[in-house]
Amino acid sequence: MDIRSDRQKGLSYVELGRKYHMDPQTAKRYAESPQKPEYTLSEPKPIKMDPYKQIVDEWLEEAPYSALRILEKLREMGFDGGLQHRQSICEHKHTDSVSSERIPVVSSTV
C-alpha cells in the first residue's frame, strides 16, 4: 500500500478508502502518519470450555454424544457456559475425524 504517495498525487481520502478497501478515516490516518503502522496480534483469549476440553474428548471417544447431552453433563459438573461452546467443539472434532476426501454433491434442477 502506498497511500501517502497516492494522497500526494491528489486523491481524496474517500478515493483512497475505495482504492484500498478501507474507511476514509483510516485512509486519512495512514496518509498522515510518518511511517507505516505496525500491528501485532494478541494472544487468543481463554474460553469457558478450556478446562473441560479433555473430559469432553474422552466422552466423544466413548460415544457420539450430541451437543445438548454434553452440555447437560457439563452443567452437572458446574459448567455455566452456553450451548455455542459445546457446538463449536463438536464441529471441530467432527471436521478432524472426517477424511480430507469429499464426496461430490450433484444437484439437479427440476
> What are the backbone dihedrals phi and psi of residue 73, each rounded to the nearest 5 degrees, phi first?
-65, -35
- Chain segment 47-81, per-residue pLDDT in tens: 888 888 889 889 889 988 888 888 888 889 988 87
* 38 pLDDT above the threshold of 70: yes
How far is residue 20 from each of residues 9, 27, 45, 50, 66, measured CA to CA in Å?
15, 8, 30, 38, 45
The answer to the question of residue 90 being in a domain is: yes
Contact 16, 6 (CB under 8 A): yes
The answer to the question of residue 39 being in a domain is: no
- How many folded domains does the chain comprise? 2
Helix (H) or strand (E) holding 3, with range, is: helix 3-8
The answer to the question of residue 109 being in a domain is: no
The answer to the question of residue 45 being in a domain is: no
Where does the pLDDT of residue 100 fall: very low under 50, low under 70, confident under 90, or very high at 90 and above?
A: very low
The answer to the question of residue 80 being in a domain is: yes
* 108 pLDDT above the threshold of 60: no
The answer to the question of residue 82 being in a domain is: yes
Query: What percentage of the chain exceeds 70 in pLDDT?
Result: 74
Q: What is the DSSP letter of 13?
A: H
The answer to the question of residue 37 being in a domain is: no
Between 91 and 61, residue with greater pLDDT: 61
Q: Is residue 28 located within the same domain as residue 62?
A: no
* 20 pLDDT above the threshold of 70: yes
Cut 0.75: pTM above it: no
Average pLDDT, the chain: 78
Q: What local confidence, expressed as pLDDT, does residue 10 receive? A: 94
Which residues form the domain of 21?
3-32
Q: What local confidence, expressed as pLDDT, does residue 50 receive? A: 82
